[in-house]
Amino acid sequence: MTIHIGANPGDIAETVLLPGDPYRAKWAAESFLSDVRCINQVRGMLGFTGTWKGNPVTIHGSGMGMPSLSIYVNELIKDFGAKTLIRIGSCGGMQNKVQVRDVILAMTATSLSTPSRGIFKEINFAPCADYRLLRAAADAAAAKGTPTHVGGIYSSDVFYDERPDLNEQMVRHGILGVEMEAAELYNLAARHDCRALAVLTVSDHLLTGEALPSDQREKSFGDMVEIALEAAFA
């Protein structure tokens, strides 16, 4: 048990999927895992452990933004022994070739700053995904026939962005999508010798203004969860 995770020793699996929304964690656990039990409810941040094809899996909310994710990932790794951490979440598309409902596999994560910036000081550390997870996720997506893009994403500090010039440069340099957590996840995984990946569903598009209706999100997000699970145990 830690300050933010009320689980007991052995409650959390080495493989953890991390949606931002705690209720998405509940939905994913109940939809894809067997023998599910709730292992955390502290501050309303729900976590569940069950099995997928006989493999122990925890699905735990991370909250919105890198500072929130950093709290949970630090505790999951250092106190509960998590070894493989996969963010499953939504993102905004930033290239015309990327469509709403597509999946993005984040090879790298650009950021303006992260909670780890104080450690790196003057170094511009380049956080990236675990290659084996990335390759396995790409293979799983191809087998499912899910439209998928592999490349760089942008982890923003803010949701209500008032710096359109930054977005313009991200688009110009081929960034596929924007979200708010992956860069710090990759930093922490590198620091603690763990595996990490972000598997993201494009829920809206910054260039076209298109957005996925709420009643269609679950099916699209289901592809993302299945890809993450297949990658974790490939």
What is the per-residue pLDDT across 166-200, written as a single tens digit (0 to 9) for each?
Answer: 999 999 999 999 999 999 999 999 999 999 999 99
Contact present, 75 and 5 (Cβ < 8 Å): yes
What is the per-residue pLDDT across 35-91, written as a single tens digit (0 to 9) for each?
Answer: 999 999 999 999 999 999 999 999 999 999 999 999 999 999 999 999 999 999 999
User: Would you say 181 is a known binding-site residue?
Assistant: yes
What is the per-residue pLDDT across 75-131, written as a single tens digit (0 to 9) for each?
Answer: 999 999 999 999 999 999 999 999 999 999 999 999 999 999 999 999 999 999 999
Whether 35 is a known active-site residue: answer no
Task: Dig out the tokens for 212 from the structure.
Answer: 């996925």
- Of the candidates 111, 94, 98, 232, which has an alpha carbon nearest to the alpha carbon of residue 171? 94
* Distance, C-alpha 16 to centroid of its chain: 10
d(CA 16, CA 193): 15
User: Would you say 102 is a known binding-site residue?
Assistant: no
User: Would you say 89 is a known binding-site residue?
Assistant: yes
Q: Where are the domains of the chain?
A: 15-232
* Confidence (pLDDT) at 175: 98
What is the per-residue pLDDT across 202-233, written as a single tens digit (0 to 9) for each?
Answer: 999 999 999 988 777 766 699 999 999 999 99
Annotated catalytic residue, options 102, 204, 215, 223: 204
* Confidence (pLDDT) at 99: 96
CATH classification of 15-232 is 3.40.640.10, yes or no?
Answer: no
* Confidence (pLDDT) at 218: 66
User: Would you say 90 is a known binding-site residue?
Assistant: yes
Average per-residue pLDDT in the chain? Answer: 96
Task: Dig out the tokens for 171 from the structure.
Answer: 């688009």
Number of H helices, E strands in the chain: 7, 9
Model confidence band, residue 147 (pLDDT cutoffs 50, 70, 90): very high
Contact present, 157 and 112 (Cβ < 8 Å): yes
Residue 163 predicted with pLDDT over 90: no
Contact present, 22 and 61 (Cβ < 8 Å): yes
User: Would you say 21 is a known binding-site residue?
Assistant: no
Q: How far is CA 101 from CA 150, 189, 192, 220, 234, in A?
A: 15, 27, 33, 6, 24
